[in-house]
Structure 1
Amino acid sequence: MAGDAHGDGRRRARGELEGEVLAALWAAGEPVTAAAVHERIGGGTAYTTVLTILTRLCGKGLVTRRREGRSHLYVPVDDQPGLAAAGMHSLLDEGGDRAQVLARFVSELSAEDERLLERLLHGDARGQG
């Protein structure tokens, strides 16, 4: 079945494959080819699909590539925490009233996350202490 990348009849959620490709790049820890990414994610995903996702990620500025011989080497622009932080900034910028967005976000934090955020805001870069 087309799109049955999990072998259970379930189609991937929007963005799920991009996340898997980014995870494979982060796990590699060095520039890798599309073939290496394809091998890492497995799951019956077509090589051409992986290539399309890598091209999209390059277009979004999340991945860079450089030619090496007849293929390209791909590397993520940021690590996972950096990408998550950039996404949070983007959502904050698009969310309208910043104060309301931040207030809603903070009101829904767990007590543990609230303490962590407070430590970070007071200059403890590790958030632990």
Structure 2
Amino acid sequence: MKTPKILLVDDVDYSRQLLRNNIQALSDTGLLTHTTFSFFNAGTAADAKVLFTLHQPHIVFLDIELPDSSGLELLAQFKQTRPQCRVVMISGASTLENVTRSIQMGAETFIVKPFSGEKILSAMRLLEKKQDYDLALDMP
């Protein structure tokens, strides 16, 4: 089984670290199917685009509010380029419009900041339940 690649996109370094630490802790305690992950971090949309193209992640945690672009615009680009990629939107601005639009545009789910281990676990388990989760790992 391949190691899932996860791209963490948030302009706040602490948020990226919190996501990574929570995912790794959930994995270490056996709550997730996979035991290891490769993580990539981006603080801007420009960096996210480069890392997305370079590493072709299986999962993206994507903040809606980035300093140089909208996360929703990135979501559209990512899903067009790599439809099998699973995107989890994150934001402190959990308006009904943001949530609805994210899901309509192809996000798997939406996590409201501040996020907890429970919210991250729920999102990761949802991704694991998707029929093509493991198939996406076999994609180049």
TM band (smaller chain): under 0.3
With normalisation by structure 2, the TM-score equals 0.24
Answer 1 or 2: which has greater helix percent.
Answer: 1
With normalisation by structure 1, the TM-score equals 0.25
Answer 1 or 2: which has greater strand percent.
Answer: 2
Rg: which structure is higher? Answer: 1
